[in-house]
Every structure is written in structure tokens, then in C-alpha cells.
């Protein structure tokens, strides 16, 4: 047979759409043509594939080869298509049985000697295969429950994905997909041959078993490292319990960065699906990630808007997507370019970012907790009792005006962090550990999941009306505060969300005046 069809996946954003590789051998002068919108790395694969096939002990067909990558309108980039292209050539030339390719998908870059090299996005590919399997299986299950059994239908077989050995552990975290990891092109071909010729001594590939997931992932830092600052620690606990954003304002050395870096240690554990989503994002971005931990992304104030939110001619995830389900920390907030900060306004509300280009539109998740820190003035010591500040009032105003009102209005908790007294520094008494605080946070989080299936910070205005009920005293207190603090409608809703979180931490079903008063105290600097 001079035709073969192989299945693989491209990676577009965080998605992995299916790609069908069609290989056809025809008469004519020897040539290899790749069509179907391949990018540079794919076009260059013809030379890698030729050398890998020859160095693996196979024959490269001395005929005209046409390789079509379908669908034709889907861009294909990266070297992950090397392996499926090589498999297709071997099957079309009769060196592999085309029938054995059914039920398999392949990804992997080929070295010139036939070895398989690690590729990005293997976890995204495995998740896409599982999602496709579920999309096929669910209608069959629904029809079966309604007594509409089709005698010709059979339950879908477990899909199999062959990946480079260095991608095996990562891809195996997705259940419902059989992951086979191979060292070389020869090992893949031996496995396929063993399925049709069991009498020969072909070695089969072993199924990669997923690594056990820890119930709670430990961190190397702890909240007990923070000396004093009880008010700021309380705000950190509230932020962790309700998913709220946070702004620390204080002089240098007061512990703002230290506290921000401890926030992930008191957050609830990621769910299995959230951990997979985060790991998949880092797999696509080719970044290291400690599986199961909350991301903590600290970015420098010189970052560009594209690096922060994502972009490029072919949109890639930015820092806000890499911080998804975790913490994005912006230190020295007024030093950021104002146009960079303003792009945060939409994802802070929508929990996602949509990047539009002339030929594509991509939506990335951006459900992060924003933690920011700043000094009160250019020198950093405004309000310090030692009188070290030499900034003029107009300098302080100009410095603070770098932050727009709409951005500050989107931050739930505004905390003033005073300089740390020497007595607190010398105090040998250890404060509460991350575990102690986290235990309270987890209980408050459970209250929210049972009540509304989401954290308080994600409540929409209509959901606030449904889940947050106030008594007459609390309503009167809020009305008075709205007049004095000039709260916007957004600020009003954020106060309600924070008050609900404070009540959850107190294991209180109702929100009382004390909860509202504390929530309002965190808006006084907004």
C-alpha cells in the first residue's frame, strides 16, 4: 500500500487539536513535499526524519512523497510532528502495517540518530485526547440510559499515546489515556510490529504508570518566618480564604515581600483538575513546575504588557496565565509602566484574557490572586516616626498618582504595613505556622464550596444578592460607609465579598456588623 494515515496533535495556545498526517507515495522523481500550513520547524523535519529512518535500520523510499497535514487551515509548529511523519512514511512504504496504527496517536521530536527528544505540550495533548474520548462516550451513555442501545455501537477503546521517554511521566498524569514512552523510533516500530507478529522477538513498550500524588504538597517557606505584623497577617489569611486581591503599602524592610511569598503556603490544595490545568499550562510554556503546588509568579517592574498578559503573532501565555490558580506578585507597584498595569483591569474581573490577532483569537485562563506591594513615597519613608522622609507633598502625590483609581478599586484589601519595631525582631516567640492558618482557611473554603460552589471573590453581582444577606444594622453601616468612603458599586460589592469571607472564617452563617466593619477597614486606603 502506498498510502498511510497517522494521528497526532498540534498545540495552539493551551489546546491540542487533532492533526491527521496523510502520506502518499507516487511515481516520479524522488522528492518530499509537506503541505497543510506547516511552519519552519515542521518544514525542516524532512531532513531529520530522513536521517532518523536511515539510522534506525529502515529504508527511506526512493520515490515521490507527499505529506498532507490536515486540517489545512490549522497552523502546525514545533518538532513534535517528526515521529508521526516518520511512522507514516514507514507505513506507506510497507515497512510497517498501516492497520496497527489504529487507536494510536504519536508526538515526538527525532534526533538524526533516531532517538526521541522531549517536546512541549505533552500534557495538553493527553488532556485533549481524554476530552475527545469523553465527548464520544457521553452520548452513548445517555442513549443507553434512555434505552436506545445501538447494537452496532461498542464502548470506545482506551486511546493510546506514544511519547518520548522524557515526556512519559508528565503525560501519564491524565487518567483514561494509555501512555507509552519510547527511547527511539526503532523502539516505537518494534512495539507496533509486536502487535501483528508475536512470533518474532519484538520488544513491546511498557505503559507508563502515573506517579502518586501527595495529599498535601509541602513548601520550603512558612508563615512563621514573619515577625509581628499581626494586622497584615490577618489580611493575608482573609485573602487566602476568599481568593481576594491584596495591596501592601509600607516602608522598605517591613516584610511586604516576605508575607506575599508565604501566601501560597496557606492556600487550600489544588483539586486534581486544577493541578492538571496548571501543569498543562507550564508544559506548553516549557517551564518547570512542581506538580500540585500553587504557582507564585514574581515579575520585575520592567516587564512589558505582552509578557504580562501574553501575546505575540501566535499568542502565547503570559505571566497572568502562568499564575493561574496561584499568586501573581507585583513588587514596587508604582515603578511599573502605567500602560502595563492597566491591562490587568479586565483579567482581574473576568478571570481570563482574550488576545485577538488578525488571523486568530485565543483565550487563556487568568484566575490568579493579585498581591502587590509599594512604598508610600519615592524615598519609602513617608509617615515614618523617625522623620527620615524628605519627599515634598507634590512628589508623594505624583508617585501615588501613578496608580489609577480603577485599578485600585479592583483590589479588595488595602493594608498599611508599618516599620517593624526592634522588639518584634528580637522576639524569639514563633508566630502561627502556615499549617495552623491553612487549617482555618480550608474550613472557610469548604463553607464557600458547600454554599455556592466557588470562592467569595468570584461571586457575580446577582450571586451576591442570592448568597449575601444583611440585617438592618449592617445595611445602615454600609450606607454610612458608602457616603464617607465614596465607594463605587464595584467597591461596595468587594466589601460584601470580603465581609462574607470574614464571616466564613468565624464559622458564622450570618454577616454581622463586626464583619462589615473589618471589611470596610481594608477599603479606607482605596
On whether both 236 and 190 belong to a single domain, the answer is no
Does residue 431 fall inside a structural domain? no
- For range 338-352, the mean pLDDT: 93
Last-in-domain residue among 143, 177, 194: 194
CB-based contacts of 432, cutoff 8 Å, min separation 6: 223, 224, 233
β pairing state of 178-182 and 160-164: parallel
* pLDDT above 90 (res 210): no
pLDDT in tens, 2-12: 999 999 999 98
On whether both 332 and 381 belong to a single domain, the answer is yes
Does residue 474 fall inside a structural domain? no
On whether both 112 and 241 belong to a single domain, the answer is no
Higher pLDDT among residues 44 and 105, named by residue: 105
On whether both 187 and 59 belong to a single domain, the answer is yes
pLDDT score of 200:
66
For the domain that residue 291 is a member of, what is the CATH number? 3.40.50.300
pLDDT in tens, 181-199: 999 999 999 999 999 887 6
pLDDT score of 450:
96
The residue behind cell 499568542 is 315
Residue (of 488, 430, 497) closest to 458 by Cα position: 497
Q: How confident is the model at residue 526 (pLDDT cuts 50, 70, 90)?
A: very low
On whether both 244 and 182 belong to a single domain, the answer is no
Residue span of the structural domain in which 374 resides: 223-424
Residue (of 66, 78, 64, 9) closest to 34 by Cα position: 66
Computed over every residue of the chain, the mean pLDDT equals 90
Grid coordinates of 202: 519484538
CB 324 within 8 A of CB 366: yes
On whether both 28 and 169 belong to a single domain, the answer is yes
pLDDT score of 214:
60
Does residue 345 fall inside a structural domain? yes
Q: How confident is the model at residue 142 (pLDDT cuts 50, 70, 90)?
A: low
* pLDDT above 60 (res 395): yes
Q: How confident is the model at residue 149 (pLDDT cuts 50, 70, 90)?
A: low
Does residue 516 fall inside a structural domain? no
Does residue 207 fall inside a structural domain? no
Q: How confident is the model at residue 141 (pLDDT cuts 50, 70, 90)?
A: very low
Q: Is 454 exposed, middle or buried (0-12, 13-18, 19+ CB in 10 A)?
A: middle
pLDDT score of 358:
72
pLDDT score of 156:
54
Q: How confident is the model at residue 436 (pLDDT cuts 50, 70, 90)?
A: very high
Q: How confident is the model at residue 169 (pLDDT cuts 50, 70, 90)?
A: very high
On whether both 269 and 363 belong to a single domain, the answer is yes
On whether both 234 and 329 belong to a single domain, the answer is yes
CB 451 within 8 A of CB 461: no
On whether both 351 and 252 belong to a single domain, the answer is yes
On whether both 190 and 228 belong to a single domain, the answer is no
Last-in-domain residue among 367, 399, 424: 424
On whether both 168 and 242 belong to a single domain, the answer is no
pLDDT in tens, 73-83: 888 888 899 99
Does residue 479 fall inside a structural domain? no
Residue (of 154, 329, 360) closest to 246 by Cα position: 329
pLDDT score of 511:
95
On whether both 87 and 169 belong to a single domain, the answer is yes
Q: Which of 121-125, 135-139, 177-181, 465-469 has the lowest mean pLDDT?
A: 135-139
Does residue 203 fall inside a structural domain? no
Q: How confident is the model at residue 430 (pLDDT cuts 50, 70, 90)?
A: confident
Last-in-domain residue among 424, 443, 463: 424
- For range 266-294, the mean pLDDT: 92
Q: How confident is the model at residue 424 (pLDDT cuts 50, 70, 90)?
A: confident
For the domain that residue 15 is a member of, what is the CATH number? 3.30.230.10
pTM for the whole structure:
0.89
CB-based contacts of 210, cutoff 8 Å, min separation 6: 169, 172, 173, 175
Count of structural domains, the chain: 2
Amino acid at each position: 500500500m502506498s498510502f498511510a494515515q497517522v494521528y497526532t496533535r498540534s498545540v495552539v495556545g493551551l489546546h491540542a487539536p487533532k492533526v491527521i498526517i496523510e502520506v502518499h507515495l507516487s511515481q516520479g522523481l524522488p522528492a518530499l513535499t509537506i503541505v497543510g500550513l506547516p511552519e519552519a520547524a515542521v518544514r525542516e523535519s524532512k531532513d531529520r526524519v530522513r536521517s532518523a529512518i536511515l539510522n534506525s535500520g529502515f529504508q527511506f523510499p526512493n520515490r515521490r512523497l507527499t505529506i498532507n497535514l490536515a486540517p489545512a487551515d490549522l497552523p502546525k509548529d514545533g518538532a513534535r510532528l517528526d515521529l508521526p511523519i516518520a511512522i507514516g512514511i514507514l507505513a506507506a512504504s510497507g515497512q510497517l502495517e498501516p492497520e496497527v496504527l489504529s487507536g494510536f496517536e504519536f508526538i515526538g521530536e527525532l534526533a538524526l540518530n533516531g532517538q526521541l527528544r522531549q517536546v512541549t505540550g505533552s500534557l495538553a495533548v493527553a488532556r485533549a485526547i481524554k476530552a475527545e474520548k469523553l465527548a464520544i462516550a457521553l452520548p452513548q451513555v445517555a442513549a443507553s440510559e434512555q434505552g436506545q442501545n445501538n447494537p452496532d455501537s461498542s464502548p470506545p477503546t482506551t486511546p493510546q499515546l506514544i511519547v518520548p521517554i522524557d515526556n512519559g511521566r508528565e503525560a501519564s498524569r491524565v487518567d483514561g489515556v494509555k501512555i507509552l514512552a519510547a527511547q527511539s523510533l526503532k523502539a516505537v516500530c518494534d512495539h507496533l510490529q509486536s502487535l501483528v507478529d508475536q512470533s518474532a522477538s519484538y520488544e513491546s513498550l511498557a505503559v507508563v504508570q502515573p506517579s502518586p500524588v501527595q495529599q498535601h504538597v509541602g513548601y520550603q517557606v512558612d508563615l512563621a518566618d514573619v515577625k509581628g505584623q499581626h494586622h497584615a497577617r490577618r489580611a493575608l489569611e482573609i485573602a487566602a480564604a476568599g481568593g481576594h486581591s491584596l495591596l501592601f503599602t509600607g516602608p522598605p524592610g517591613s516584610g511586604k515581600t516576605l508575607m506575599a511569598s508565604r501566601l501560597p503556603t496557606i492556600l487550600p490544595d489544588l483539586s486534581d483538575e486544577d493541578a492538571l490545568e496548571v501543569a498543562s499550562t507550564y508544559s506548553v510554556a516549557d517551564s518547570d513546575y512542581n506538580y500540585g503546588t500553587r504557582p507564585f509568579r514574581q515579575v520585575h517592574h520592567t516587564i512589558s504588557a505582552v509578557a504580562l498578559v501574553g501575546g505575540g503573532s501566535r499568542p502565547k501565555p503570559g505571566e497572568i496565565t502562568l499564575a493561574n490558580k496561584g499568586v501573581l506578585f507585583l513588587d514596587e507597584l508604582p515603578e511599573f509602566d502605567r500602560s502595563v498595569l492597566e491591562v490587568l483591569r479586565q483579567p482581574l474581573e473576568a478571570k481570563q484574557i482574550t488576545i485577538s490577532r488578525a488571523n486568530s483569537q485565543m483565550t487563556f485562563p487568568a484566575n490568579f490572586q493579585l498581591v502587590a506591594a509599594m512604598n508610600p513615597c519615592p524615598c519609602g519613608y513617608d509617615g515614618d516616626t523617625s522623620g527620615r522622609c524628605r519627599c515634598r507633598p507634590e512628589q508623594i502625590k505624583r508617585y501615588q498618582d501613578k496608580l489609577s483609581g480603577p485599578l485600585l478599586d479592583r483590589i479588595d484589601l488595602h493594608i498599611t504595613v508599618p516599620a517593624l519595631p526592634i522588639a518584634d525582631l528580637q522576639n524569639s516567640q514563633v508566630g502561627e505556622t502556615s499549617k495552623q492558618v491553612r487549617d482555618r482557611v480550608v474550613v472557610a473554603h469548604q463553607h464557600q464550596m458547600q454554599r455556592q460552589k466557588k470562592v467569595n471573590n468570584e461571586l457575580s453581582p446577582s450571586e451576591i444578592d442570592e448568597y449575601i444577606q444583611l440585617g438592618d444594622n449592617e445595611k445602615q453601616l454600609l450606607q454610612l460607609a458608602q457616603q464617607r468612603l465614596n465607594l463605587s458599586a464595584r467597591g461596595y460589592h468587594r466589601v460584601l465579598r470580603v465581609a462574607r469571607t470574614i464571616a466564613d472564617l468565624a464559622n458564622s452563617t450570618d454577616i454581622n456588623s463586626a464583619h462589615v466593619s473589618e471589611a470596610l477597614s481594608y477599603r479606607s486606603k482605596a
